[in-house]
Chain A
Amino acid sequence: MAGKLKIHVDPDKCQGHSRCKSLAPELFELDEYGNAHEIGDGTVPDGLEDKAWLAKSNCPELAIDITED
């Protein structure tokens, strides 16, 4: 069984397209400029793995990393 997924938004790459936030609002939050950050420490709760991958595959700036514990 694979471990838990962890997401991370690279703040230097993120340009605030907010694709991640609209696809996976449970996983991302936006700051006052509309740039994204992972919620909490980025651990993806069970059941939201597909949304995490979906967000990653729609980020135009390739700013989202997903790692597996």
Chain B
Amino acid sequence: MNKPVPVTDWVSDFDHTDPRWTEDPYPIWDELRAQCPVVHTNRFLGVYMPTTYEAVKAIAYDTEHFSSRRIIVRNSRPPITQSAPPITSDPPEHKPAKQLLLPPFTPDAMKKLEPRVRAICNELIDQFIADPSVDAAARYTKHIPVRAIAHMLGIPEQDGDLFIKWIHEILELGITDEATLMRAIEEMSHYFMGHIQARKSKPTDDLISTLMKARGPDGQPLSDMHVLGSLRLLLVAGIDTTWSGIGASLWHLAKTPADRERLIAEPELMPTAIEEFLRAYSPVTMAREVIKETTISGCPIKPENMVLLSFPAANRDPAMFHDADKVLIDRKENRHAAFGLGIHRCVGSNLARMEMTVALEEWLKRIPDFRLDPAGKVTWSEGTVRGPRQLPLLLGKAT
């Protein structure tokens, strides 16, 4: 692949895969927002990006002009062959597909899962607590979401490393490498078909069996392909998103001792702190395809373009949040859009919040003192899910 031309003018030629964007997107978004509520680039065959909360919300609510049939901005737009309801669905198909997935993810269901997640966090901490330093992204934050979802699905938690590999191949390598993408999907499908088959003779009490027992809008049980598609979606949507959310929170606490000490002294601030980390370091940017001409915040929007639906940029809009660029762990009013707005609200938001809370609580209990390792480098994932992929920390009191 040709190396992309470096960006010189962000406002008319932005590129969300540019290394500067990956490293620190916030000043770039501020610059874009100051110019226009919706900016455009000719890269990736034409993409708009709303920069204000108002414009992001208007697009998220407008399923008539903006379709979810394509949700990844790529260099090519091959014909659509793989759909993953409900995330790739528009009304009216969206609602029944989503309702199938919602009941296992309610706050009450998450309460039942919570003790297992606490144990997972402690098992991970046991492995490095005696060390002076640790890459927390590789040894802690990465493993919590995969093990939690494996536990829910009823498959071995040790298979988590396989999921991490597939997701990396699908979400990162797959943007440019079609063959790797297809092979990963193939392997994943084969793996899950085995688990589906096994449950046909011996039903279990887990999320895979729940989905197999669920009935579609026509009153019939879901086909194996539908169950498989749902499982694939839950893995792809639930893992590196939450990995990123936990990682960014820990990164903040590592570099902000005042917030860390306050959170230990006032644990009742945890809920507002979690919402604030979700706002300030929102991991997920989605996409839409423009299917009909329209206007958003006064800007003309034309078909044949994609939209980078930046919930993270919306969450930094000073017109919506006072001190938008500051992290205030006791922020009282926080209508952030980290889990989306409108009908596609994240199915896993209650799970993600529980995992983030438990991961920080258990870490702070056992490792109250830690900081960024000046000898290491924090690196961030590229693309539309943003979080630390390398987070070198020094553990224990500074000497």
Contacts and interface: CB of A to CB of B under 8 A. Distances in A.
A60 B105 contact: no
B107 A17 contact: no
Interface stretch (A2-10, A30-38, A41-49): A30-38
Nearest to B109: A34
A18 B333 contact: no
Interface stretch (B116-124, B153-161, B335-343): B335-343
Contact of B337 (A16, A22, A34, A60): A60
A18 B107 contact: yes
B222 to A, nearest CB: 17
B343 A15 contact: yes
Nearest to A14: B345
Interface residues of A, number: 17
B55 to A, nearest CB: 16
Determine the interface band of chain B, counting residues with CB < 8 A from chain A: 20 to 34
Contact of A60 (B99, B106, B336): B336
A17 B106 CA distance: 10
A34 B107 contact: yes
A34 B339 CA distance: 14
Contacts, number: 47
Contacts of B342: 15, 61
B106 A30 contact: yes
Contact of B350 (A18, A57, A58): A18
A16 B345 contact: yes
**Most chain B Cβ neighbours within 10 Å, of A16, A32, A59, A61:** A16
B103 A33 contact: yes
A17 B102 CA distance: 12
B334 interface: yes
Contacts of A16: 102, 345
B332 A33 contact: no
Contacts of A57: 332-333, 335
A50 to B, nearest CB: 10
Nearest to A23: B271
B349 interface: yes
A66 interface: no
Interface of A is mostly: loop
Given A16-B102, A17-B345, A30 B107 contact: yes
Contact of A33 (B102, B271, B335, B337): B102
Interface in B288-337: 332-337
A60 B341 CA distance: 7
A18 to B, nearest CB: 6
B271 A22 contact: yes
A30 B345 CA distance: 16
Nearest to A16: B345
A69 B332 CA distance: 26
Nearest to B346: A17
A62 B341 CA distance: 10
Contacts of A32: 102-103, 106
Nearest to A33: B102
Contact of B106 (A15, A34, A54): A34
Contacts of B332: 54, 57
A57 B341 CA distance: 15
Contacts of B107: 18, 21-22, 30, 34
A58 B334 contact: yes
Interface of B: 99, 102-103, 105-108, 271, 275, 332-337, 339, 341-343, 345, 349-350
Given A30-B106, A32-B102, A32-B103, 5 more contacts: A21-B107, A22-B271, A34-B102, A54-B332, A57-B333
Instruction: Rank and list the top 5 A-B pairs by shortest CB-CB distance, nearest first.
Output: A15-B345, A33-B102, A57-B333, A34-B106, A60-B335
Interface of A: 15-18, 21-22, 30, 32-34, 54, 57-62
10 contacts: A21-B107, A22-B271, A30-B106, A30-B107, A33-B99, A34-B106, A57-B332, A57-B333, A59-B335, A60-B341
